[in-house]
Copies of this chain bind each other. A is one copy, B any other.
Amino acid sequence: MPQRPSRTAAKRPVHASVPPAAAVFAALGDETRLTLVRKLTTGPPRSISQLTQGSKLSRQAITKHIRVLQRAGVLRSIRQGRETLCAFDPKPIQAAQAYLDSLSEQWDQALSRLKSFVED
């Protein structure tokens, strides 16, 4: 929980360690990519071939999805010998959570204002 990505991520830090919320949501907005993310949150880092196994898609298709997730910061990968190991990085997800939390909070406040207005 001691995360440093600014909780109010609306300021657009140029050196953003984490891409803007919309980019993270876009990366998560695909079943195939969500499946990859779930695989990597539940288990150890895996190679592209391993991630391709069990999928109907070609290795290249999976590679493209992995790159989308990488650009969003959700995954990191390092070349290890002849294979490329992909690992989950929790920071962008935490940023996305913070974003949704702020949305919910705004909504709750709007509801409160409406309620007290009606009660007058």
Name the distance in Å between A69's Cβ and chain B's nearest Cβ.
12
Interface of A is mostly: helix
Contact indicator A22/B28 (Cβ below 8 Å): yes
Total identical chains: 2
Contact indicator B41/A110 (Cβ below 8 Å): yes
Within 8 Å by CB of A29, from B27, B97, B109, lies B27
Interface size on A, residues (CB 8 A): 41
- Give Cα A32 to B30, complex, Å: 19
- The answer to whether A101 has its CB under 8 Å from any CB of chain B is yes
- The answer to whether A34 has its CB under 8 Å from any CB of chain B is yes
- Give Cα A30 to B103, complex, Å: 15
Question: Quick one: which of A46-105 are within 8 Å of B by CB?
Answer: 56-57, 88, 90, 93-94, 96-97, 100-101, 103-104
Name the distance in Å between A109's Cβ and chain B's nearest Cβ.
8
Give the chain B neighbours of A30 by CB distance below 8 A. 1, 22, 26
